[in-house]
């Protein structure tokens, strides 16, 4: 029997030998529990089973604390990653889960694990089925590092998109193949996406019918985001204009930088406006109302 996956994590070669499976049972997709003559399950047992089902859907560990609030499922991403998580790295994750639309600037110092914090949030959202399409935007020198970190630490597969990969994809699928539509999780670098033909190819995927309720992309992660902040005196760079163009197409955004402030309030506030235009506006001086 061959196994098929609905996402890009599974290998198409996976198979199993049905005759050798222990206690094999084929369940219909809409099958209900069998009806018996025994007494119905008590309300307490039903609630316990329901809580256990919700927990095991996210985490291999069960909570024995019945007094814990059940409105918010427990975090699961630390148990699915091959990383030793520090306490302070859980703070952005807990903050993100409290936000209906995530817009966070992770500004920890160098070496404190901003990549791990972003990976924890990313993994948690995937486990909760809140996101599917993800774009990681980073410097060219870090694209392979990001791909390796996501694979080894969080078992998440990402496709690195550049000119060579785009040409290879078009050779396989035809000249009309669009990598931004083909792959659900992508890593690319600033200077590639800012090129006019590439940005137009990206826009073609993002165009939505008027009144569409769902944005075309779920999560944007921008590493070293200070490279894309607006200018203080002159016209914004191509990178900054590119970020301004693509940011509205994402439901959730994570910006990462150890140096997010360059000393100019207009630049920093403009970066925050790219992150969350509802809460922030590009201004020259902060006030007490900010």
Find, among 69, 89, 66, 63, the residue nearest to 77 by Cα.
Answer: 89
Sorting pLDDT into bands at 50, 70 and 90, what band is 263?
Answer: confident
Higher confidence at residue 125 or residue 42? 125
pLDDT higher than 50, residue 69? no
**Residue 138: what are its φ and ψ, rounded to 5°?**
-150, 170
Condensed to tens digits (0 to 9), the pLDDT of residues 143-166 reads 999 999 999 998 899 999 999 999
Residue 72 has pLDDT above 70, yes or no: no
**Residue 65 in this model has a pLDDT that exceeds 60:** no
Between 174 and 5, residue with greater pLDDT: 174
Task: In whole angstroms, give the CA distance from residue 152 to residue 270.
Answer: 35
Alpha helices in the chain (DSSP H): 43-56, 77-80, 90-97, 114-127, 143-154, 163-173, 179-182, 190-193, 196-206, 238-246, 265-275
Does residue 61 surpass a pLDDT of 50?
Answer: no
- Residue ranges of the domains in the chain? 40-74, 86-275
Angle at 219 between CA 240 and CA 161, to 5 degrees: 70
pLDDT band at 174 (very low <50, low <70, confident <90, very high): confident
Residue with the larger pLDDT of the pair 14 and 129: 129
- Report the pLDDT averaged over residues 104-123: 88
Q: How far apart are CA 43 and CA 48, in angstroms?
A: 9
For residues 106-110, give the mean pLDDT. 85
Q: Please state, as a whole number, how many other Cβ atoms lie within 10 Å of the Cβ of residue 91.
A: 13
Average pLDDT over residues 54-63: 51
Cα(45)–Cα(65) distance, integer angstroms:
15
CATH class label, 86-275: alpha beta
pLDDT the model gives residue 277: 82
Burial group, residue 266, by CB count within 10 angstroms (0-12, 13-18, 19+): middle
Computed over every residue of the chain, the mean pLDDT equals 80
The whole-number pLDDT of residue 166 equals: 92
pLDDT, position 67: 47
Is residue 83 predicted with pLDDT exceeding 70? Answer: yes
């Amino acid at each position: 029997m061959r196994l098929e996956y609905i996402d890009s994590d599974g290998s198409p070669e996976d198979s199993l030998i049905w005759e050798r499976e222990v206690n094999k049972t084929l369940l219909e997709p809409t099958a209900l529990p069998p009806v018996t003559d025994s007494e119905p399950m008590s309300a307490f047992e039903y609630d316990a089973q329901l809580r256990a089902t919700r927990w095991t859907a996210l985490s291999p560990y069960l909570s024995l604390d019945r007094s814990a609030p059940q409105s918010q499922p427990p975090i699961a991403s630390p148990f699915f990653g091959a990383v030793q998580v520090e306490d302070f790295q859980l703070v952005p994750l807990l903050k993100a889960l409290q936000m209906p639309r995530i817009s966070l600037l992770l500004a920890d110092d160098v070496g404190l694990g901003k990549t791990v914090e972003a990976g924890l949030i990313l993994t948690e959202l995937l486990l909760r089925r809140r996101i599917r399409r993800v774009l990681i935007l980073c410097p060219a020198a870090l694209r392979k590092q990001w791909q390796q970190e996501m694979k080894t630490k969080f078992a998440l597969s990402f496709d690195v998109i550049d000119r060579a990969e785009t040409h290879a994809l078009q050779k396989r699928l035809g000249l009309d193949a669009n990598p931004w539509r083909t792959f659900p999780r992508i890593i690319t670098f600033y200077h590639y996406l800012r090129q006019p033909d590439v940005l137009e190819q990206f826009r073609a995927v993002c165009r939505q019918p008027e009144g569409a309720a769902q944005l075309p992309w779920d999560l944007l992660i921008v590493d070293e985001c200070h490279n894309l902040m607006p200018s203080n005196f002159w016209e914004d760079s191509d990178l900054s204009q590119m970020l301004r163009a693509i940011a509205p197409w994402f439901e959730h955004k994570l910006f990462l930088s150890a140096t997010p402030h360059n000393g100019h309030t207009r630049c920093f506030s403009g970066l925050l406006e790219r992150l969350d235009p509802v809460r922030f506006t590009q201004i020259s001086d902060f006030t007490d109302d900010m």
